[in-house]
Each structure stands twice: as structure tokens, then as C-alpha cells.
């Protein structure tokens, strides 16, 4: 069982290029599945029937696993059985007809333009202040994931007449995105007046965003910067509407669509493999349209 699981994870690493975090989750899900089968007296995938896969799903839900986590776990199990059948380890894919639970559709949280302006209005008189402002402007100005921002290198930036940035996304995919005027100005100020002072404390790294010791800024530190700026701006930092590392990315996409951008253009800018992922943002925009209609039309109520 473990040999097949490892072969499947190797396949996902080499052929699919999944991220380390996704692979870690899949390994955890599959190890849990193997333990569950062992408790049922099954130590060979060839002995598994569709009933066992369905029963495993029911066990996950009975244990209180969130529907999104259960869906991912069953996707991992289905992928394992599909791989085993394709490689001839088993004769038939018994999990093909087992469907994961549909997770509840949660709309991305997005700030309005005024809230974004307040969030980005952070002090920028020190090297760290210049860095923080540049980071936040970069996140909102490019729609970058926080991992893409902290992973950006100096050579990934082009701040000339047509400013742009190369972002290194999930699965080794890269994309070129335009950099807005505010982000360009904030990055320029940081690179000239902030980064050299921080770099002097370190051993040299090509990363754009540096910590106080001159090393590459971590995702956790970037989250702390965002959290601190949100608190200063009077935005929620706790609870269901708390500003998170993805909030500026959600806001970027929503504001583009509100401004008339085509959903497929936004898909390319966000680096989504499928337009289906991007279309969730259109639901946010529709909700905004309903809100405006309800408050502005004289016969809406």
C-alpha cells in the first residue's frame, strides 16, 4: 500500500508539479486512508471495493471533518485508485463513481476602494516603512499571492515605461503582470531608499522584500505586516471578516471586474489554471450590483 501511495505522490510531483503544501496534504489524507483500510483488515488496494471508499467518506464526515477537507481527502483517494488502475496495480478503478461532497460556496472577502486606500496609507519614512508600503502596494497592484510576492527577485521587476513583474505561481507556472503606477512608485522608493539599508545587514539575496536582518522576507512576516496595517487602518483583524493575506488579491480581482475587465483577462492576471476558479469573483460583483440597485432604484423595495 505504501509503495503505491509513494509512487502516486512521486507522479504528482514530477508529472503534475503540485506544490509542497498540496503534496503534504495528500500524503496525510492517503496515510489516513491506509490506516482506515488496515483497521478494516485490508492491506492491498486490489481488495478494496467502492463500498469501502464510500464508507471511508462517511467516516470522515462522521468525525466532523469539514466538507472542503473531506472533498480534498476523497479527491486524493480517487486519484490514488485511478493511478493504480492506470499503472496496472489493480484491475479496475473502484473509486471512479464516488463523488466528494460539494463544499459550501463561500464568496471571497473583498475590501472596497476606500478601505484599500486606508490600508495602503502606511507610514513610509524608514527602510522598514518603505518596504511595508511597497509590499502592500505590490500585492494590490499585481494580484500576487503572498508567496509570489515574497518569492519575487529583483530581476523579476521591470519598472520602466511599461512596468511589469514576473510572478512565480503554483506548480512552477510563471506569468507576467502589469505593475500599477502607485505600486511602481512605492517599489521605486523602497528600492532606492529602503532596500539598500536592509541589504547592508545581510549576506546578499536577490529577493525584493527583505527582513530587518537583510534576508528574504517570510510569508509569516508578510502576514504580520498586513495584519499591522489593517489594525492601524481600523479594518477587522479577527473574526469571519478579518483581513487575510488573500484579501488584497480578492480585492484586486473584484475591482477589476467591477471596472469592466473580462473574466478571462482576470484569469490570466491571477494565474488561475481554469476560468471556473475566477468566475467566483463574478458572484461578488453581482452581489454588489444587487446592493446598488436595492439602495438606488425608487421601486426596488
Judge whether residue 60 has pLDDT over 90: no
Judge whether residue 92 has pLDDT over 70: yes
82, 118, 170, 288: which is the annotated catalytic residue? 170
Do residues 108 and 284 lie in contact, with contact meaning Cβ atoms separated by under 8 Å? yes
131, 133, 195, 249: which is the annotated catalytic residue? 249
**How high is the pLDDT of residue 300?**
63
**How high is the pLDDT of residue 124?**
84
Judge whether residue 101 has pLDDT over 90: no
272 is catalytic: yes
Do residues 231 and 237 lie in contact, with contact meaning Cβ atoms separated by under 8 Å? yes
Do residues 91 and 67 lie in contact, with contact meaning Cβ atoms separated by under 8 Å? no
- Could you say which architecture CATH assigns to the domain 115-243? Orthogonal Bundle (1.10)
Judge whether residue 284 has pLDDT over 80: no
8 is catalytic: no
Structural domain spans, the chain: 2-86, 115-243
pTM, two decimals, is 0.64
203 is catalytic: no
- How much is the average pLDDT of 227-237? 92
133 is catalytic: no
What are 119-123's contacts with CB under 8 Å, separation 24+?
A: 119/229, 119/230, 119/233, 119/235, 119/243, 119/248, 120/182, 120/229, 121/233, 122/229, 122/232
- Could you say which architecture CATH assigns to the domain 2-86? Orthogonal Bundle (1.10)
Work out the mean pLDDT of the chain and round it to a whole number: 87
168 is catalytic: no
**How high is the pLDDT of residue 82?**
92
Judge whether residue 240 has pLDDT over 80: no
Condensed to tens digits (0 to 9), the pLDDT of residues 107-157 reads 667 899 999 999 999 888 899 999 999 999 999 999 999 999 999 999 999
Please indicate whether the domains covering 2-86 and 115-243 agree at the CATH topology level: no
Amino acid at each position: 500500500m505504501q509503495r503505491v501511495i509513494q509512487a502516486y505522490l512521486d507522479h504528482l510531483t514530477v508529472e503534475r508539479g503540485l506544490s509542497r503544501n498540496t503534496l503534504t496534504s495528500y500524503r496525510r489524507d492517503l496515510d489516513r486512508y491506509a490506516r482506515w483500510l488496515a483497521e478494516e483488515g485490508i492491506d492491498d488496494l486490489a481488495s478494496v471495493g467502492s463500498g469501502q471508499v464510500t464508507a471511508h467518506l462517511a467516516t470522515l464526515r462522521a468525525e466532523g471533518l469539514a466538507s472542503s477537507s473531506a472533498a480534498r481527502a476523497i479527491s486524493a483517494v480517487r486519484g490514488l485508485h485511478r493511478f493504480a488502475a492506470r499503472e496496472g496495480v489493480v484491475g479496475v478503478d473502484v473509486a471512479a463513481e464516488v463523488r466528494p461532497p460539494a463544499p459550501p460556496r463561500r464568496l471571497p472577502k473583498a475590501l472596497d476602494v476606500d478601505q484599500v486606500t486606508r490600508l495602503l496609507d502606511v507610514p513610509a519614512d524608514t527602510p522598514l516603512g518603505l518596504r511595508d508600503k511597497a509590499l502592500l502596494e505590490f500585492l494590490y497592484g499585481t494580484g500576487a499571492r503572498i508567496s509570489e510576492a515574497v518569492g519575487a527577485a529583483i530581476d523579476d521587476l521591470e519598472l520602466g515605461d511599461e512596468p511589469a513583474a514576473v510572478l512565480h505561481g503554483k506548480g512552477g507556472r510563471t506569468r507576467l503582470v502589469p505593475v500599477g503606477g502607485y505600486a511602481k512608485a512605492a517599489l521605486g522608493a523602497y528600492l532606492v531608499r529602503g532596500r539598500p539599508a536592509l541589504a547592508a545587514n545581510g549576506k546578499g539575496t536577490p529577493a525584493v522584500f527583505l527582513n530587518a536582518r537583510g534576508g528574504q522576507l517570510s510569508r509569516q512576516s508578510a502576514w504580520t505586516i498586513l495584519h499591522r496595517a489593517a489594525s492601524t487602518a481600523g479594518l477587522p483583524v479577527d473574526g469571519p471578516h478579518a483581513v487575510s493575506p488573500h484579501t488584497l488579491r480578492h480585492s484586486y480581482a473584484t475591482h477589476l471586474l467591477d471596472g469592466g475587465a473580462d473574466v478571462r483577462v482576470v484569469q490570466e492576471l491571477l494565474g488561475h489554471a481554469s476560468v471556473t476558479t475566477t468566475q467566483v469573483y463574478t458572484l461578488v460583483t453581482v452581489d454588489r450590483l444587487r446592493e446598488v440597485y436595492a439602495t438606488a432604484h425608487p421601486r426596488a423595495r
